[in-house]
């Protein structure tokens, strides 16, 4: 992960050991990023996820998915 990608991730995700035992959450929320993956694995749409977690913005979710995609592709092509 590049420094730029890390900075972008820090804008979207926060980790605080005193909140949800340090589980990575969407910044400004108590929604674990794992919840997005769980919804996608369960065939939910992005809109359904966002309806269930209104404190997460569409921009946050899309930026997180894009960063995850970019990092996975970098691993595959390395």
pLDDT tens for 5-57 read 788 888 999 998 988 889 999 999 999 999 999 999 999 999 999 999 999 99
Report the predicted TM-score, pTM, of the whole model to 2 decimal places: 0.86
Domain ranges of the chain: 3-77
| Residue 78 reports pLDDT greater than 80 | no
Q: Which position has the higher pLDDT, 71 or 36?
A: 36
- 77 pLDDT band, cuts 50/70/90, is confident
For residues 23 and 32, the answer to whether their CB atoms sit within 8 Å is yes
Position 57 scores a pLDDT of 97
CATH class of 3-77: mainly alpha
Angle between helices 3-12 and 58-77 (to 10 degrees): 150
């Amino acid at each position: 992960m590049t420094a730029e990608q890390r900075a972008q991730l820090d804008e979207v995700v926060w980790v605080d050991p005193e909140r949800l035992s340090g589980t990575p959450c969407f910044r400004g929320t108590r929604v674990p990023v794992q919840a997005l993956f769980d919804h996608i694995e369960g065939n939910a749409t992005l809109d359904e996820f966002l309806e269930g977690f209104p404190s997460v913005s569409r921009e946050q979710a899309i930026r997180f998915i894009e960063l995850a995609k970019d990092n996975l592709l970098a691993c595959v092509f390395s």
